Amino acid sequence: MHRELAAYQRLLIITYRRYLEADRALASRLDALRAVFPPDRKPHRGTIGAPDSPIRRLCENRDRALLRLHAARAEFEAARARIAQRHARPTNVLFLRVHSPVSE
């Protein structure tokens, strides 16, 4: 693998792992919340999404991790396209001109 592409792939792997960690943290916190508040006794939604709420912070962390993952994926694809373009063989186009004999 090309060295430049390998660096972008490592970045993509790291950002993917960070997204998975953020998603797992949010999922486990939501599971804990469901244990405290069963579906029939949900708390007021405003308290969960309040600016200083731990749930909101976890949601925002996951959203930021997802944005970073999308950006890393775009950078990886751009690097792959650059390398492919660099290594593409040049194409030679030849035009042939055929002269027909003049017959009278």
Q: What is the mean pLDDT of each run of 10 residues along the chain (104 residues)?
A: 88 97 94 76 62 86 97 96 84 82 71
Whether the Cβ atoms of residue 16 and residue 67 lie closer than 8 Å to each other: no
Please tell me the predicted confidence (pLDDT) of residue 4. 85
Q: Which residues contact 73 (CB under 8 A, 6 or more apart)?
A: 12
- Give domain limits for the chain: 3-86
